[in-house]
Chains A and B, each alone.
Chain A
Amino acid sequence: MAAGERDVSEVVLKGTTVTASEAASRSAVLKRLRLTDTIFHGLTRTAALTVLALLSGVIIALVIGAAPALGTFGFSFFFDETWNPVTEKFGALAPIYGTLVTSAIAMLIAVPVGLMVAFFLTELCPMVLRRPIGIAIELLAGIPSIIYGIWGLFVFAPFLQQHVQPFFIDTFENVPLLSTLFAGPPYGIGMFTAGLILAIMVLPFVTSISRDVFDAVPPVLKEAAYGVGCTTWEVFRYVVLPFTRVGVIGGFMLGLGRALGETMAVTFVIGNAHHVSASLFAPGTTISASIANEFTEAVGDLYTSSLIALGLILFFITFCVLAMARYMLMRLEKRVG
């Protein structure tokens, strides 16, 4: 308790004339107050502990479920592309690869675009347009993922197949590296399409968090920068971004978390093939898409167990991403402080 503040009991008991009955009732009231406090304390603690219990329960269940698969295939489970339900030989390389590649495409597109939108909204946008654009972006976050999936399959994928992908394939035909990345045939469906859909889904997270933190930059800082002759780009790069970096990185991580775990929309457009291909236009699969597709009909213990092992890997990847984010933030803060 800070100095100068008085304890409740002092206030109550230091009254000038306290009769016996009044004192008794006061102490009863106090007792009741203390009881409420104890209960409240207990409730909050239980709630917090429940989360811990749930988390460890999930981890334990995943480890037990994954044990047969990991025991059978050992370490090679992580580096094997085979996924053969007929011979019951499973490896997680293709889903891990697909998860990382689609999320990387999504972040590569969503981060710069999201930052630009956020900066436009906070600095350059005419007042009348700010609210409509802001609300539109937040609505993007509210669209259920299955809608993105259906739209992706029925509208976006055919468009990509007929117009965008042939263009990429022809243009980069003789460019080394790019010709491998954009090798045909154009299916419309594949890792590239899944990455683009994910980018759209991640965009609102990056944008709205960046916008909120950009708004928190003290105007006097920006005005001072403009005052000494900085361009808008310089203000963005050397004033706004450094001031808000913690919040912005938080937004990235939220977005990345969504991209890694997104299931429905990805399942619709990725092609669900257990292959590791250099070409981004080739069909692939992600961890969550594999589980969603195959779990209900997985026949045999090893098959089911391999899918659970995939879940455990996704859990681990997400955990690593969060841990890395924390670590980066700590480093940044130390350097600044």
Chain B
Amino acid sequence: MKFAKIALMATAFALTSWTAVAVDISGAGASFPYPVYTKWADAYKKETGNGLNYQSIGSGGGIKQIKAKTVTFGATDAPLPGKELDESGLAQFPMVMGAIVPVVNIEGVKPGDLTLDGATLAKIYMGEIKSWDDPAIAKLNASIKLPKQAIVPVRRSDGSGTTYNFAYYLAEISPDWKAKVGVNTALQWPVGIGAKGNEGVANNVGQTKGSIGYVEYAYAKQNKLAHTKMINKVGKAVEPNSASFQAAAANADWNSQPGYGVILANQPGDQSWPMTAATWILIYKKPVDAAITAEALKFFAWSFAKGDKMAEELDYVPMPDKVVNDIQKMWSTEIKDAGGKPLFSPTN
């Protein structure tokens, strides 16, 4: 009898724990927003008991996983074009923004000492500017003396949304870049050494004298690397910080692209940081498992409502309220279960 009781209890326990797992929302994709997603998930779990399992496998992987329907949502730094969204029945919306900053390792150059513009940056990464004492760099930096030292450009060796946004910016500025290199998550780089992940680029720049790299802002800050100032679209030199990132985001016209696929590179405005970037969520408009998608939308709504401070602590930029309202309206009209009932209503 006793055995039967234990067996029964064990079964009941197994069942409850199984259902508890089933509530977990699963997502996969970009590594760029991984820190903030996990922070939100942690706080959300404490508040509601519902968990989120986010695999930081990269944007390309995120797109593959959501198309294979192995996850509730995918995350990508490079937005899908409207046609691809329509074909696959996916909804796309931006979740949070961040910024990419150039970092350098030159003897005696401290964070913010050096100023670069897009054209110079493109020439460095195309191998046309080879030395730090090049006149093009000297012209932008009259106040500091730069050494006659070879420039070592460091870039990502893996496919990456960071690369996509960086290349997008350079292509906006430099017709040469657009024609010869192009824009993608992985590129045929004319020069330089490749390193894996944001942390790989940060480490390589930290270790290699005369190097320059591009990383997500948080990595520059955590690794105490010397970031540069950038000349923005209106010709002003700006420091990378929350204010300049937000300025860039404020000017964006989010409805100009299908699926809010607006790249924030080279935005107008005196204060705008030219390499600001958003990261997107991909979710099915008619999901197979409507219940779990509804849970995921609840999590995103919670993050939009309560996650701003957590995002700012990690140097991300929250989405403006106006855009969030717009996104939630899109959810309630476009994301439906099999019976055509909306999975989200802005009031709940």
Residues of B with C-beta under 8 A to A187 = 150, 152, 193, 208
Interface pair B182/A299, CB less than 8 Å apart: no
> B159 touches which one: A82, A85, A272, A274 (CB < 8 A)?
A85
The distance in angstroms between the C-alpha atoms of A293 and B185, with both chains bound, is 13
Interface pair B187/A86, CB less than 8 Å apart: yes
Residues of B with C-beta under 8 A to A85 = 159, 184-188
Shortest C-beta distance, A21 to chain B (Å), equals: 43
Given contacts A85-B159, A184-B150, A187-B152, A283 and B192 within 8 Å (CB-CB): yes
The distance in angstroms between the C-alpha atoms of A303 and B60, with both chains bound, is 12
The distance in angstroms between the C-alpha atoms of A89 and B160, with both chains bound, is 19
The answer to whether B209 has its CB under 8 Å from any CB of chain A is: yes
Interface pair B207/A158, CB less than 8 Å apart: yes
Interface pair B193/A296, CB less than 8 Å apart: no
Interface pair B194/A153, CB less than 8 Å apart: no
> B182 touches which one: A86, A157, A162 (CB < 8 A)?
A86
Given contacts A83-B188, A158-B209, A298-B60, A153 and B159 within 8 Å (CB-CB): no
The answer to whether B100 has its CB under 8 Å from any CB of chain A is: no
The 8 A CB mask of A184-219 against B (1 = contact, 0 = none) is: 111111100000000000000000000000000000
> B152 touches which one: A87, A185, A296 (CB < 8 A)?
A185
Interface residues of B in 167-209 (CB under 8 A from A): 181-189, 191-196, 203-204, 207-209
Interface pair A297/B58, CB less than 8 Å apart: yes
The 8 A CB mask of B11-28 against A (1 = contact, 0 = none) is: 000000000000000000
Interface pair A188/B207, CB less than 8 Å apart: yes
Residues of A with C-beta under 8 A to B158 = 293-294, 296-297
The answer to whether B252 has its CB under 8 Å from any CB of chain A is: no
The answer to whether A154 has its CB under 8 Å from any CB of chain B is: yes
Interface pair A82/B195, CB less than 8 Å apart: no
Given contacts A86-B181, A296-B158, A299-B63, A189 and B193 within 8 Å (CB-CB): yes
Interface pair B188/A272, CB less than 8 Å apart: no
Residues of A with C-beta under 8 A to B207 = 153-154, 157-158, 188
Interface pair B150/A283, CB less than 8 Å apart: no
The answer to whether B242 has its CB under 8 Å from any CB of chain A is: no
The 8 A CB mask of B123-150 against A (1 = contact, 0 = none) is: 0000000100000000000000000001
Residues of A with C-beta under 8 A to B159 = 85, 294, 296-299
The 8 A CB mask of A285-297 against B (1 = contact, 0 = none) is: 1000000111011
The 8 A CB mask of B41-63 against A (1 = contact, 0 = none) is: 00000000000000001111101
> B208 touches which one: A83, A87, A158, A294 (CB < 8 A)?
A158
Interface pair B208/A189, CB less than 8 Å apart: yes
Residues of A with C-beta under 8 A to B150 = 184-187
Interface pair A273/B194, CB less than 8 Å apart: yes
The answer to whether A267 has its CB under 8 Å from any CB of chain B is: yes
Interface pair B209/A162, CB less than 8 Å apart: yes
Shortest C-beta distance, B265 to chain A (Å), equals: 17
Interface pair B59/A86, CB less than 8 Å apart: no
Residues of B with C-beta under 8 A to A153 = 203-204, 207
Shortest C-beta distance, A140 to chain B (Å), equals: 23
The answer to whether A98 has its CB under 8 Å from any CB of chain B is: no
The answer to whether A161 has its CB under 8 Å from any CB of chain B is: yes
Residues of A with C-beta under 8 A to B181 = 86
Shortest C-beta distance, B23 to chain A (Å), equals: 28
The distance in angstroms between the C-alpha atoms of A157 and B59, with both chains bound, is 31
Total number of B residues with any Cβ neighbor in A under 8 Å: 34
The answer to whether B157 has its CB under 8 Å from any CB of chain A is: yes
The answer to whether A271 has its CB under 8 Å from any CB of chain B is: yes
Shortest C-beta distance, A171 to chain B (Å), equals: 18
Closest to A267 in B: B196
The distance in angstroms between the C-alpha atoms of A84 and B208, with both chains bound, is 26
The 8 A CB mask of A156-167 against B (1 = contact, 0 = none) is: 011001100000
Given contacts A157-B208, A189-B208, A297 and B188 within 8 Å (CB-CB): no
Closest to B206 in A: A154
Residues of B with C-beta under 8 A to A303 = 186
The distance in angstroms between the C-alpha atoms of A186 and B182, with both chains bound, is 28
Shortest C-beta distance, B241 to chain A (Å), equals: 29
Residues of B with C-beta under 8 A to A154 = 203, 207
Residues of B with C-beta under 8 A to A292 = 196
Residues of A with C-beta under 8 A to B210 = 185
Given contacts A272-B157, A294-B157, A82 and B188 within 8 Å (CB-CB): yes
Given contacts A184-B150, A273-B192, A294 and B61 within 8 Å (CB-CB): no
> A87 touches which one: B60, B63, B182, B203 (CB < 8 A)?
B182
Interface residues of A in 258-315 (CB under 8 A from B): 267, 271-274, 283, 285, 292-294, 296-299, 303
The 8 A CB mask of A166-187 against B (1 = contact, 0 = none) is: 0000000000000000001111
The distance in angstroms between the C-alpha atoms of A274 and B186, with both chains bound, is 12
The 8 A CB mask of B195-239 against A (1 = contact, 0 = none) is: 110000001100111100000000000000000000000000000
The distance in angstroms between the C-alpha atoms of A9 and B140, with both chains bound, is 97
- Residue numbers of A with Cβ under 8 A of B are 82-87, 153-154, 157-158, 161-162, 184-190, 267, 271-274, 283, 285, 292-294, 296-299, 303
Q: 8 closest Cβ contacts across the A-B interface?
A: A297-B159, A272-B194, A185-B150, A271-B193, A272-B157, A86-B182, A84-B188, A85-B186
In the complex, given contacts A188-B209, A283-B193, A297-B61, what are 7 additional A-B residue pairs having Cβ atoms less than 8 angstroms apart? A153-B203, A188-B208, A189-B193, A267-B157, A274-B188, A274-B189, A298-B186
Task: Provide a sorted-by-A list of 28 A–B residue pairs whose CB atoms are within 8 angstroms.
Answer: A84-B187, A84-B188, A85-B185, A85-B187, A86-B181, A86-B182, A86-B187, A87-B182, A157-B207, A158-B207, A185-B150, A187-B150, A188-B209, A273-B194, A274-B188, A283-B194, A293-B157, A293-B158, A294-B157, A296-B58, A297-B58, A297-B60, A297-B158, A297-B185, A297-B186, A299-B184, A299-B185, A303-B186
